[in-house]
Every structure is written in C-alpha cells, then in structure tokens.
Chain A
Amino acid sequence: MKTTRLALAGGAVPLAVLGGTWALQAAWADRLPDVVAAHWGLTGPDRSAELSTMTGVTLGIGAVLTLVTLVTVLVSRLRGAVVPRSAVGFVAWLATLPAGVLAGSMYAALDATSWRDAGPAWSAVGWALGLSVAAGAAATLVAGPTERPAPAEPRDLPSAGLQPGERASWIGGGTNYPMAFGGLVAVLGYALLHVSIPGLGVMPFALAVLVVVLAMAAVCRVRVRVDTTGVTLSLGLFGFPNRTLTYDEIASANTEEMTMGSAGGYGLRRGVGYTAFKVRAGETLTITLNSGHVVKATVDHADRAAGLVNDLTGARDGA
C-alpha cells in the first residue's frame, strides 16, 4: 500500500502536472504568440523562446526528472530504506518546476501580439512557484506519513557484557582517509601549479586550497566517547560540531550500515528523524533517543560502542 502511495506521489502527481500544462497550452493555443518571453529584466521581458521549443524542453526535463524520481523512490523502498514524505514532496516540486516556468511564460504571453508585450514577471514567477509548490504539497499528502523502522527488541540489542560494579568507557572513531589526505593533495597540487606556471598569482588559488583543506579537515573524522556521563560525538579534526547525549535521553543503541548516498552526503547531516555524523560509508553506531530521534555516527567497531551504551542505559533490561 505504501509503495503504491509513493509511486503515485513520485510519479503520478508530477505527470499529472506535466499533462495539465500541456493541456493548458492546447486550450490557450489561439491566444498565444509563436514566441514567448523566457526571461525578465528590470525593464520587462528581455529574452524570448519559441513556444514549441520551450514546451519540448521544459516538459522533457520534467518527464526525465519524474522518471528519475520514480525509479529512485521505488528502488529505495524495495531496498527497505525509509523514504521521507518531505523528500518525495521536494523532488515532485523540482520535477514540476520547469512545467511551472512554461505555464508562467504562457500566462504572461496571453493575448499578446509580441513577446515584448508580455505581462509582468511576478505573474510568471507566481505561476512557476505556485504550480510546482502545489504539486510538491500534493505529492507530500499522497505519500502519507513517513514510516519509521520498528525499534529493535531489547533482546536483539548488542551488549558489552558489563557486570554490576564494573566501570567502562569506549573511545573510538571513524576516519575517511582519502578525505584526510585530500587536503594534502590540494596543497601539493597548488605547489605544482606554482612551479609549472611562473608568475602565477597567489590569489585566488591559495584561498581555494585553504577552503579545501579546512573543509576536508572539518569532516574527515568522527570521534565518539561512551562513558558513565553519556555519549559525546564530535566531528572533524577541530572537534566541532559536537553533541553530548545523556543517558536520560537515550532509549537504546544499535548498529546499521550506511551507504555513500545515505543521509545525502558526508559531514553533519540532518534529516527527518535523524542527525548523522557521517565521514564514510559502512558500519554506523545508531543511538535512538526517547523522542524517537536517531543520532548516527560512522565509527569503527560500532557494535562495541552500542553494547556499552545499552549496558549503561539499561536498554536491555527488558530482555
């Protein structure tokens, strides 16, 4: 049932908007010039396009985006991934935006003898945004509430086997080595550029290298400490941003495998129901809070960290 709703939201809704825009053009055919305004400057329309070409390009882009969206949503669903309704709404908005632009240009050109006589920009922009936002909202509604994965049974949760009276701490992390050495490669590339091209200015290359080095250093490593005070997570060589979770707010901990595309990239990622400290793909510590929010960190030997968190939280008491 959920798959059908996602298919309708990701495929049927954008296709209906594309079809509706095409039908609108057919209905307005007698009132539209062959060439319509495609861009507005401060003084009015300043660029134009053949209506037939613009229709083909915008609806073609929309169709391709819809197809990509539909395949991505269905494959993610079949592979068991959680597909947030907000993500479906966003891609539906994106897929229908070109059709919205076409509808806006057509509306502005209604009953005009030349594209230069087209109506104001705000009406075209209003149509473009209104149509696509409405499509995104409709897709969000059709997709229905985001399904959350069922929480693990207490007996399934990992444990470090901590005995009463024992004290323990787990200190570990995960490193993205290509990223860690990426900054060094950027510096070497910059040095090579200077040697090979005499008279090359320092700026803006030095600034670009500095930005690359800082960016790599900021997200190449994640570090986690689990002890009796709580769980502390920090990102990068600077240890910022960081977050400390106390056991009052932790429900349980577990592990999962993140892919390169999970959470939409590397670094500190926020999404529906989760915050991820991600520096690589692979094994990941997942800490579920009492609020249902999940905090993730891509650390090595995540099962041991999760086990200690569960032992210190008492999450396995129900086992």
Chain B
Amino acid sequence: MLIRIDPASQAPLFEQVAASVRRGLSDGELTRGQQLPPAREVATSLDINVHTVLRAYGVLRDEGLIELRRRRGAVVTGAADTRARLNTLAGELVEEARRVGIGPDELTEIVKEKFA
C-alpha cells in the first residue's frame, strides 16, 4: 500500500494518511480481509508520530472502511470497496465545487435534487 503525505499541505497529516488508504481501496490495491501495515511501521517509514497513523485508522474505522482488531490490527471490511469509491468521488465533487465557487449548502442542494 502506497501512503504519501505532504508536510507542507494544509490538510492534516492524519487525513492525508487516511486519504492514501481510501485511494488504495478505490484502486483495488487493498481488498476485503486484507491487513493494513502496523501503525508503528507506517509511522516509522513516514517519519511521523504513531498517534497520527492511529488517528487516521480511527477515522477509517468510523467510516466503516476498516475494523480494528486486537490481534490482527487494521483489517479492510467488506463494505470498504463501495464506501471508498463514494468517498473518493465525494472528494472530487467537493474539489470541483470549490474550484467553481460553490459552497457546501449549494452543493448539498444539488445532491438532494439529484436524489429526488
């Protein structure tokens, strides 16, 4: 799994780590049942704090993309493929909305209209 971070970016490091995992899920690099690397190893390899990685894993768990198990560590869940793709698409939608100057409320309205 490729994890990349930009320390100069305004996005928090934990969010960048989580985004890398989401990208891996949507690209098919990570599949159901697969273990993520131990947080300590990721932290060492990126020269960041282990709590940053644990926080990223926590975010991914809250999104339903991974499960945190006592002995097996972080494991990709069955729903990860679909949710990761939605997350990636939503991220691209938000980026595009920012680019053309549309705020969160207006974007939400557009999405609601599409649902209707």
Contacts and interface: CB of A to CB of B under 8 A. Distances in A.
Interface of A: 160, 162-163, 165-172, 225, 227-229, 300-301, 304, 308
Interface stretch (B2-10, B57-65, B86-94): B2-10
Contact of B2 (A163, A170, A228, A229): A170
A300 B42 CA distance: 18
A162 B29 contact: no
B37 interface: yes
A169 B42 contact: yes
A166 B5 contact: yes
B41 interface: yes
Contact of A171 (B8, B42, B47): B42
A156 B37 CA distance: 30
Interface string B1-34: 1111111100000000000000000000100000
B2 A308 contact: yes
Chain B interface category by residue count: 10 to 19
B42 to A, nearest CB: 7
Contacts of B37: 171
Interface of B: 1-8, 29, 37, 41-42, 44-47
A207 to B, nearest CB: 29
A165 B6 contact: yes
A228 B3 CA distance: 12
Contact of B41 (A171, A301, A308): A171
A308 B5 CA distance: 13
Contact of B8 (A160, A165, A229): A165
Most B CB contacts (10 A, CB to CB) among A169, A225, A300, A304 go to A169
A255 to B, nearest CB: 14
Given A227-B46, A228-B47, A167 B4 contact: yes
Most A CB contacts (10 A, CB to CB) among B1, B5, B7 go to B1
A163 B5 CA distance: 10
A172 B3 CA distance: 11
B3 A168 contact: yes
12 contacts: A167-B6, A167-B46, A167-B47, A168-B5, A168-B46, A169-B3, A169-B42, A171-B42, A225-B41, A227-B44, A227-B45, A228-B45
